[in-house]
A and B are shown apart, each in its own frame.
Chain A
Amino acid sequence: QKEVEQNSGPLSVPEGAIASLNCTYSDRGSQSFFWYRQYSGKSPELIMSIYSNGDKEDGRFTAQLNKASQYVSLLIRDSQPSDSATYLCAAEGGGGSYIPTFGRGTSLIVHP
């Protein structure tokens, strides 16, 4: 059973701080990793994808992947109240399958 684990939170950070969201996955064969943001009552929105070990930066977002530790993280710099949402981590590609496995999500609250 492939699993992706996330702390459900909520993670509360003050405006302007760095929010750090973490995710672990069980399938060592997973090749592709994604972070989705989901506002309450809305559908998930892809914000980052990462395929190689190391860091990938896109604006205020940085995704980090460590395949040896089976660990993925998302850093949000200069957090804004508009970043308040649930962040879903997904892993895909183990065993030639393209079926993604999603974590349950971490709720982030950025307070002014």
Chain B
Amino acid sequence: KAGVTQTPRYLIKTRGQQVTLSCSPISGHRSVSWYQQTPGQGLQFLFEYFSETQRNKGNFPGRFSGRQFSNSRSEMNVSTLELGDSALYLCASSLEAGVPEAFFGQGTRLTVV
């Protein structure tokens, strides 16, 4: 069974640009969550999607947004990139919304210069 797939694995962007990251969950999993991981702040929850609807949102500015498609694949977008957005962005999938066991993808390493 294939795991959670994130693309791309690495990205370098310039301040002010926008970026879109993609996540394909484990087959049959319908809930997708996104996290930001930095050395200073640790692992922080961005948002969760289930059935194409955002169910929960963490404490991040509106520059961070996401969506989920009918096949459960998800994308997150960061607009007007700032240096502080440099981080490892992780996607996790779980079977259903509210099922707490989550399985993480390999992440996208975003560097903003």
What residues of chain A have their CB less than 8 Å away from a CB belonging to chain B? Answer: 32, 34, 36, 42-46, 49, 88, 92-93, 97-105
Contacts and interface: CB of A to CB of B under 8 A. Distances in A.
Nearest to B50: A98
A100 B100 contact: yes
A49 B104 contact: no
Contacts, number: 45
B84 interface: no
**What are the 9 A-B residue pairs with the smallest beta carbon separation, nearest first?**
A102-B43, A43-B104, A104-B42, A32-B100, A99-B56, A44-B104, A43-B107, A92-B100, A98-B98
B103 interface: yes
Chain B: interface size category: 10 to 19
Given A44-B43, A104-B42, A98 B97 contact: yes
B23 to A, nearest CB: 12
B16 interface: no
Contacts of A49: 100-101
Nearest to A105: B42
22 contacts: A32-B100, A36-B104, A42-B106, A43-B105, A44-B43, A45-B104, A46-B102, A46-B103, A49-B100, A93-B100, A98-B48, A98-B55, A98-B97, A98-B100, A99-B58, A100-B45, A100-B100, A101-B45, A102-B42, A102-B43, A103-B42, A105-B42
